[in-house]
Structure 1
């Protein structure tokens, strides 16, 4: 995969502008609301608020290359701070808006009292988001697939996506998720990418929990973008030690149900950062044994190329990737990118797709505005 600066330049520029600009707005709000005038305090606060966003970028790079405990702790601290900072930024914007409206209306108010209340609420919301991020919920969904074989009627399919195993989500968390999944007595488990986060560390600690997964008809996996970040050979080496079958642009037929798995890296390489491709339909139809007249489930990490999948006769797609924005209001950005397919169950003719918001998080271990989920489908 080509990780050229040109490909990621818009993302990097936006990220730097948002992080440093947002932290500067927090600085202006804190000093204004609480009347911080002492030069030493102001300088110290500004330095802290500029160091933290820089620390996120630096620690992210280090976390990809180092297995040290210091790198792990630093990454967790700055990633968690980033989630809090997003809430503080929203609080700062709210304070500026309310203050402006009050001044425009000629109403008197206690700016310090208002600011303290809003910032406290933001901190409480961030604390809830942290708790929420580590408590995925089972989501039961009835799924109708046209011409579903009798052998699959009433069977249970579980999707596992975007758990982001690494420094933040460790082996103990994975074991708890495995127990939740096994309690559903699944017939089939499909893992739709970003199983690993991309941070360094001993990935072999995840082998035992992954081997505890149970599904009568098998467990299948396709790659996500974060498997490419950590390095596909490393990720696949871990999975080779498990019962999980990797589908790399392949199809298997399970009692009349076609399970198709496409690599995220394949389609992403063709088009760059967005993951869009004009050839997904050709790739699917070229798979040995694919029959458009038989029911099929497509596993592809991102909710894209919907029209192509529908046109070649795919029945149903499982996707993830979007996290449904992870932290409000970023769900509006995922909607702008993926439209109505950014989250939930949607259809296009006889084709349907479910995009999960996933189990884990990227960056801040915080979820606000959505709940991490384990989708459990009852097939009919």
Structure 2
């Protein structure tokens, strides 16, 4: 009974959010103040009504059991457009206030607001789509790891994460990403999870270029939360076939110049709840048998896994998951769930966390004020700082 009650409450909440997302832009841009001619109101109402019905249907068939890529593309694109419209409709109220104070009366005031919001939304959607589909920028960051030995000073860690190969076939994009990453002279190459949305059989072509990238010391992969929407074990095995060492609650010891670095990885924070046999984040297992005096580089998909990293004395954690918010101002919601949205941050006395904005995108093919990245982290010892 409690389970059904929770499901009903969740369903009501989702319905309320869905209606609000479509209702507010329709009310402000089409129906209320602008006093558009009748045909404009009818046409606008039809567009929003069709979107309101088509969105949940396409999301169900696109991301539900059937997994139709066409339906997913429609649903994801609708989500992106309506989110942008909703956010800028809310911000449009500031313009409405300014116009009201300036003495501009309705319907002129509301028409100006509606046209400005619609125009901005159009520009942002076109620009956001271009940003999502482009080759990610290379972001270079130097990180001082005090316990790192001189022999490992200058180790170059190249990070890919959240590639989300999915309903839009991005095999060519994937090849460009692999070529770009391969040209960065990686000592350590990391994929920090959410490699794809969908089973290996459907994403094999898009994932294939990942097998062409090399690193001098290690090339490792951990699962993200999206792997647990399907068959995470199959992705672990496939990434291993592509030459990526799965850090499935385990570690490697990297040695250079007489010094060593522990490179550990754990499953995503959602792994245990997924009930996937043999999966569940276990940092103690990942670090079992390591030298306590050696610095530890941990790969964990979600930034919030840093709490366990701090307790274990990890020196640096590398994560993704947040996409930097992906579509402004969604990062404010991400901050509620995660301790970091992007960039380098410190947690506790020893632990640093680098959160990548991600290499690809999930869902809406948009990135607005949250550019994608391929990250190059150069590790420095305290002696060289």
Tell whether the 8 Å contact from 1:157 to 1:376 is kept in structure 2 after alignment.
yes
**Alpha-carbon separation, structure 1, partners of 2:344 and 2:78:** 33
1:98 aligns with 2:95: yes
Partner of 1:26: 25
Q: Deviations over 1:334-366 (max 9, x none)?
A: 122223x23210113221110111011111111
Partner of 1:80: 77
**Alpha-carbon separation, structure 2, partners of 1:8 and 1:239:** 35
The aligned length equals 363
Tell whether the 8 Å contact from 1:190 to 1:220 is kept in structure 2 after alignment.
yes
Q: Deviations over 1:243-284 (max 9, x none)?
A: 11111110111111101111115x642699xxxx9x966445
The verdict on how the C-alpha distance between 1:238 and 1:7 changes in structure 2, with shifts beyond 3 A counting, is farther
Q: Report the CA distance between 1:8 and its aligned residue.
A: 8.1
**Alpha-carbon separation, structure 2, partners of 1:7 and 1:299:** 34
CA RMSD of aligned residues (A): 2.9
**Alpha-carbon separation, structure 2, partners of 1:12 and 1:201:** 32
Partner of 1:173: 173
Partner of 1:203: 203
Tell whether the 8 Å contact from 1:342 to 1:355 is kept in structure 2 after alignment.
yes
**Alpha-carbon separation, structure 2, partners of 1:7 and 1:192:** 32
SS at 1:147 equivalent = coil
Q: Deviations over 1:7-42 (max 9, x none)?
A: 888776554433321111122223233625358546
Q: Report the CA distance between 1:112 and its aligned residue.
A: 2.1
Partner of 2:216: 216
- Normalised by the length of structure 1, the TM-score is 0.85
Q: Report the CA distance between 1:81 and its aligned residue.
A: 2.5
1:257 aligns with 2:258: no
- Normalised by the length of structure 2, the TM-score is 0.84
**Alpha-carbon separation, structure 1, partners of 2:5 and 2:170:** 33
Partner of 2:332: 332
SS at 1:240 equivalent = helix
Partner of 2:366: 366
Structure 1, unmatched stretches of 5+, are none
The verdict on how the C-alpha distance between 1:140 and 1:264 changes in structure 2, with shifts beyond 3 A counting, is same
SS at 1:165 equivalent = coil
Select which of 43, 52, 62 maps to 1:50.
Answer: 52
Structure 2, unmatched stretches of 5+, are 381-385
Bigger mean CA deviation after superposition, 213-222 or 146-155: 146-155
Q: Report the CA distance between 1:96 and its aligned residue.
A: 4.0
Q: Report the CA distance between 1:239 and its aligned residue.
A: 1.6
**Alpha-carbon separation, structure 2, partners of 1:81 and 1:201:** 27
Partner of 1:319: 319
**Alpha-carbon separation, structure 1, partners of 2:242 and 2:323:** 26
The verdict on how the C-alpha distance between 1:140 and 1:331 changes in structure 2, with shifts beyond 3 A counting, is same
